Amino acid sequence: MKLTIDHLSFSYSSFPVLKGIDLAIDLGEVLSIVGPNGSGKSTLLKCINRILKTKGNTVFVDGKDINKLNLKELSKIMGYVPQSSMSVFPFTVFDIVMMGRTPYIHWSPSEQDYEIVAETLDFLGLSDLAMRHFNELSGGEQQKVIIARALAQQPKILLLDEPTSNLDIKHQLEILCILKDLAQSKHCSIIVAMHDLNMASRFSDKMLMLKKGCIFAVGTPEKVLTEENIEAVYGIKAKVTKSIMGKPQVVPLEPISSKEVSETPSKFALLT
Amino acid sequence: MRSVVFWLMGGLNRATWESIIILFPIVILTIFLMVLQAWNINVVSMGEDVATSLGVTPKRVLTVTMVLETLATASIISFTGVIGFVCLISPHIARMLIGSDHRFLIPCSSLVGACLLLCSDTVGRLVLQPTEIPVGIVTSLLGVPFFLYILVSRRRRIWG
């Protein structure tokens, strides 16, 4: 399934957060969105998933405008994994993953829904935790459960908002390997907002670098992760080498004091 | 004046078969409609963003449940007067009994509430014979300690 974004802009009340985003992502691709805090990564994901409504026709799935789909149809196409999750009431892991079947069930889950949930838990190696309470699990396990919930939706496009930011290195690797596998074996398109540039470089086919709500660079990790781009977007000096995986590897050196940072393009100056 | 006092204290001694004829269909209908919304309530409890991404409109679910709750409570209260704390205790007991899935929680807590009210009323009529204590007083006697317990246990959770 092909996702196209055509000139997407979004403002919280009158404060513009995203300005003229154009993007296309193909079947089975992993796209990572990187950029400093407040650059609009989460907002972009929420706009794609219509959690935040944009004006006009901007997001298209296979050429169809998502604003024309109803929420239920959309939720069969896209799954969303939020930055942090908690459950107000004590639900079991199985219950939480079953909630992913919501678009398909009316009041009570069918036999097939139970099978799909069991398969999904098995796929992510969560079967042993199925009857545990969600709130008692570790951060890494919780994140996997939330990914399982999104997978139970059987989406064609999966959106993840910093899925690895609170996890130890093993869980980070596990989750990113699962995502890569999903993209390759199930031809799921995956869009993931991330902070770790090296992880993003290793696991994504395409990268999108945001700066203050605008696309600064887009393309392969080699094209996006250059010393100049990193300096301009993050305001740090960095060295980019090649990792043993053959992907660019970023070694951050030191922050540049704000005075030295090259001036942003003049259109930003107009806004302030 | 007497009926105002009665209404404020809350009690079942004015209940007649006529009030049941009116209340029964309203209560059954609202419970039925609430149970139909149960899965959506489960999903909304995970947060609004998540609910939206699962194809549920949180605002719609909240509006529907609020209207149903108000309808059920208001119609009962207008016959019995104010009987406090039943709604505080019974969902907690029900959740301890059968868990958080609202498909079962809603009917279960209605039943627990009914039992609680009936027991409190019976106790109120028997303890100080021949004087009857209004059921609202009995439920408050149960409810206040329960309320304090929840307050203290929640605070402990926040403070670690």
Chain centre distance of CA B82 = 12
Q: Which residues of A touch B54 (CB under 8 A)?
A: 75, 99-100, 102-103, 153
Q: Which residues of B touch A85 (CB under 8 A)?
A: 46-47, 50
CB contact under 8 A, B45 and A87: yes
Q: Which residues of B touch A80 (CB under 8 A)?
A: 49-50, 53
**pTM for this entry:** 0.84
Q: pLDDT by residue for chain B (160 residues), tens digit each?
A: 677 777 777 778 777 888 899 999 999 999 999 999 999 999 999 999 999 999 999 999 999 999 999 999 999 888 888 888 888 889 989 988 998 899 999 999 999 999 999 999 999 889 888 888 888 888 988 889 988 888 887 766 554 3
Helix axes B102-127, B17-36, angle to 10 degrees: 150
Where does residue B108 rank: exposed (0-12), middle (13-18), buried (19+ CB within 10 A)?
A: buried
Helix axes B17-36, B58-80, angle to 10 degrees: 170
- Pairing verdict, β A189-193 and A30-34: parallel
What chain B holds in terms of domains, given with CATH numbers, is: 2-159 (1.10.3470.10)
Which helix (H) or strand (E) segment is A254 a member of? strand A248-255
The two tokens of residue A112 are 């097939």
Give the C-alpha distances (Å, rounded to integers) separating A59 from A8, A19, A35, A75, A208.
Answer: 8, 14, 21, 14, 16
CB contact under 8 A, B47 and A79: no
* pLDDT digits 0-9 by tens, A158-199: 999 999 888 889 989 999 999 999 999 888 999 999 999 999
> Which residues are within 8 A (CB) of B108 and not within 5 positions of it... i.e. 6 or more apart?
B94, B97, B98
Nearest CA in chain B to A53: B52
Residue B92 contacts A, CB cutoff 8 Å: no
CB contact under 8 A, A95 and B101: yes
Instruction: Evaluate whether A24 touches A5 at the Cβ level (below 8 Å).
Output: yes
* pLDDT digits 0-9 by tens, A56-90: 888 998 888 888 888 889 999 999 999 888 777 88
CB contact under 8 A, B53 and A80: yes
Task: Give the DSSP per-residue string, A5-20.
Answer: EEEEEEEETTEEEEEE
Dist CA B102 CA B110 (whole Å): 12
Instruction: Evaluate whether B139 touches B86 at the Cβ level (below 8 Å).
Output: yes
* pLDDT digits 0-9 by tens, A119-166: 999 999 999 999 999 988 988 899 999 999 999 999 999 999 999 888
What angle (nearest 5°) sits at the alpha carbon of residue A159, between those of residues A155 and A163? 125
Radius of gyration of chain A, Cα coordinates, nearest whole angstrom: 19
Q: How far is A185 from chain B (nearest CA, A)?
A: 24
